[in-house]
Amino acid sequence: MRGTRCRVLVSIPMPSPSAPHDSDPPWAGPPGFAIGLRRIAPEAWLEGGEARPWARKDRLFRAVPDKVWGETQGSRPGQAEAAGLVASALGLRARPDLRPPLLVAARRVPDDLVLMERRAGDWAVSALSLSAGSFFTAEEALGRGLEALHGPVPGFAQRYLVRVQRVFDNLPVDDIVERRNWSVVAWRGLYAPEASAARRRALRQRPRRPGAGLYIRCERQTLRRLPQTGGLLFTIRIHLTPLRALAADPEAARVFAQAWAAAPEDFRRYKGLAAVAPGVEAFLAECRRPHAESVTDPRHKALHDPR
């Protein structure tokens, strides 16, 4: 989902969490699918920026628990270590709690948390809190290995699987790596488990202004080793920004337009961009016209905790 780069592990300079369309956005760079890694400093691991993430997540835990949380037998030691890393990064002390440790940790941060551990020779999801999943749920992901998780990614098994397994096997304890990706969607919510319904809604939209109702959905992922139990903690953070916010920055709109035009067909199919293409292209055409309107509405900012 990264620009025209739907990268498995992507290496680009890190954009600002509050402005996914800033001077170095996720979609800048050559189109296509590739593998890359970016090391980040420990202090850059968790971005923060959402005052009460537990409020958003608890609503989902109550309403659809199996879709946003899952754990496998034997995962509690890895969960506890992952939760300890999160607490340490936040400057908090671990407190006694009867709930699963990874669930407790996930309530404290905006990110979704996914614990990967070796099971039967493969890296698989052993526990996860997934309150902002993009077209999949916790019950669908729990217990799955790398190949099954990335099955929809074009060419993953043939081109990337072995290399990603090597990254998982050899990531040093002291390293934290990051990737980012992007897509364009027609909804404002972080929780987006079903692609088909969302895309049908996009096709029905008839906005009064080109691009209204469309959002750039940027995803930041990090990966780090658990030194004691040997597993890996995968974090996923979603930012949503109205597409029309790009009109305030002609250079940002120009870079996005280049990325959109260069996006390969397999990328477009994988992202379901056909549903939003008419709105995106109408908006970009408006931006190319002389004296295109700038968006100054303060509502056009990155959405960290949308409804």
Please give, one letter per residue, the 3-state secondary structure of the chain.
Answer: CECCECCCCCCCCCCCCCCCCCCCCCCCCCCCCCCCCEEECHHHCCCCCCCCHHHHHHHHHHHCHHHHEEECCCCHHHHHHHHHHHHHHHCCCCCCCCCCHHHHHHHCCCCEEEEEEEECCEEEEEEEECCCCECCCHHHHCCCEHHHHCCCCCCHHHHHHHHHHHHHHHCCCCCEEEEEEEEEECCCCCCECCHHHHHHHHHHCCCCCCCCCCEEEEEEEEEEECCCCCCEEEEEEEEEEEHHHHHHCHHHHHHHHHHHHHCCHHHHHHHCHHHCHHHHHHHHHHHHCCCCCCCCCCCCCCECCCC
Distance CA 223, CA 82 (A): 11
The verdict on residue 77 lying in a domain is: yes
The verdict on residue 1 lying in a domain is: no
The answer to pTM > 0.85 is: no
The verdict on residue 294 lying in a domain is: no
At 291 the pLDDT is 57
At 267 the pLDDT is 83
At 203 the pLDDT is 64
Distance CA 66, CA 187 (A): 22
Q: Token pair of 302, please? A: 């990155």
The verdict on residue 135 lying in a domain is: yes
At 192 the pLDDT is 83
At 36 the pLDDT is 60
Q: Is there a contact between 259 and 4 (Cβ–Cβ < 8 Å)?
A: yes
Closest of 12, 35, 8 to residue 22, by C-alpha: 12
The verdict on residue 32 lying in a domain is: no
State the total domains in the chain. Answer: 1
At 275 the pLDDT is 87
The count of other CB atoms within 10 Å of the CB of residue 95 is 7
At 266 the pLDDT is 84
The verdict on residue 18 lying in a domain is: no
Angle between helix 277-288 and 250-262 (nearest 10): 140
Output Rg (C-alpha) for the chain, integer angstroms.
19
Question: Could you read off the pLDDT tens digit of each residue along the chain, which spans 307 residues?
Answer: 333 333 333 222 233 333 444 446 666 655 555 556 789 999 999 999 999 999 999 999 999 999 999 999 999 999 999 999 999 999 998 788 999 999 999 999 999 999 999 988 899 999 999 999 877 899 999 998 877 777 666 556 666 777 888 889 999 999 999 988 888 998 888 988 876 666 666 666 676 788 898 999 988 999 999 999 999 999 999 999 899 999 999 988 998 998 899 888 888 888 888 889 999 999 999 998 875 444 444 444 454 444 3
The verdict on residue 176 lying in a domain is: yes
The parent domain of residue 249 ranges over 38-288
The verdict on residue 293 lying in a domain is: no
At 120 the pLDDT is 85
Which position has the token pair 């939209």? Answer: 205
Distance CA 131, CA 111 (A): 8
Q: Token pair of 187, please? A: 């909804």
